[in-house]
Amino acid sequence: MRKVELLAPAGDLERLKIAFTYGADAVYIGGEIFGMRSAAKNFTKEDMQEGVNFAHEREKQVFVTVNIIPRNAELEQLQKYLIELEEIGVDAVIVSDPGVFTIVKQTIPNMEIHISTQASTTNSGAANFWYNQGAKRVVMARELSFKEIKELRDNTPADMDIEAFVHGAMCMSYSGKCVISNYTTGRDANRGACAQSCRWKYTLVKEETPGNYEPVIEGIDASFFFNSKDLCMIKYIPEIFESGITSLKIEGRMKTAYYVATTVRAYRMAIDEYYKDPDNWKFNPIWLEELKKGSHRDYSTGFFFDRPDSNAHNYKSASYIRNYDFVGIVKGHEEETGLVIVEQRNRMFVNDKIEIIGPFKETMHATILEMYNEEGEPIKSAPHARQVVKMKLDIEVGKDYILRKPIASITTV
């Protein structure tokens, strides 16, 4: 069976390693320049080198975003940056601008090029154009249905990869081409600095007569009328395979290591189950429940089945749904005592009932029986950010396992 790629976001080196540990086949990252997520930590040259080495040791791949729409002055430093990427050994660059594409071909002609979703590829003619220019992969515009992707697949070379977003935040603007952020804050969405102005609260009215304003959308509170629901396609793995998509992309380079682990783990389980018996694959509700234990908005299927209607937006709130706290990540074990060494991410207490997830493992339940600080002194809680603690659990866990616990009420970002 044709293998599909599970492609994960990585905003920094920790998230890159977590993505691969939990089952990603490749990650996409941004350097300190030319990427579309300037607010993410992103990768220094040294971190990028370490990340690429980590990936290649595991026969995985790293793709680097070079997908902003640059100004003339920025092109002067582009060639030097591209040469650095080639020296580091990245596997591909992701571009959207034809000028950047041309410079990549001239500067590092052997580098694999992927065409970003920002290029709005919606038809086989455009996909074939990029392929004939030398692109290996085209990332579909998010506005395509399964039917349209299948038609594109049937009319493009078989060795051209087709990548599509299957999970994560959706932009209300066509292929991300938005100027609202630039207008409202001076932060350019097409240069990596989007303020997500579409998530803000607005009042949408029309002037019926001078000074007389009426709601445009009747019957609902539409204060967040730009606010798209998140995309989630984990129920539709067979349709993804049948459409000809070769890379399943998860959105979220600014999301946490917990989000990366949770999302990659769920899709890895769903894909692997499909490989076992495609004809009898059944959606397991546990996979969706796992996704919902990460920070998310309400889910939709985007454009995959039809053009979204009003149900694809959440008009009442732009807040994330968060039912679980990521409380810690296992860093190893203390040799003398066997205690688990954990780096804290949210407050936790002795006697807490927690859940633990690990790569390619079922969700486990545990109790924190004892906890000690780095000096070995007993403590009742771990309240300090990134505090390293040693603890005794009632189950065995491995490195990079993640500790989480339910929270009493839904909170927002």
Nearest of 45, 346, 74 to residue 191 by alpha carbon = 74
pLDDT tens-digit profile of 114-169? 999 989 999 999 999 999 999 999 999 999 999 999 999 999 999 999 999 999 98
Q: What is the pLDDT of residue 410?
A: 37
Report the b/e string of 337-351 with b at 16+ CB within 10 A: eebbbbbbbbebebe
Instruction: Give domain limits for the chain.
Output: 5-172+228-306, 324-406
Q: What is the pLDDT of residue 392?
A: 98
Q: What is the pLDDT of residue 226?
A: 74
pLDDT tens-digit profile of 318-360? 677 889 999 999 999 999 999 999 999 999 999 999 999 999 9
Q: Which residues of the chain have pLDDT under 70?
A: 1, 35-41, 172-177, 189-192, 217-222, 310, 312-313, 315, 318, 408-413
Nearest of 351, 357, 362 to residue 394 by alpha carbon = 351
Structure tokens at 271: 């894909």
pTM of the model: 0.89
Look at domain 5-172+228-306 and name its CATH class.
alpha beta
Q: What is the pLDDT of residue 19?
A: 98
* Amino acid letter for position 67: N
308 touches 300 (CB < 8 A): yes
CATH architecture of 324-406: Beta Barrel (2.40)
Q: Where do runs of H (alpha helix) occur along 89-177?
A: 98-107, 124-133, 146-154
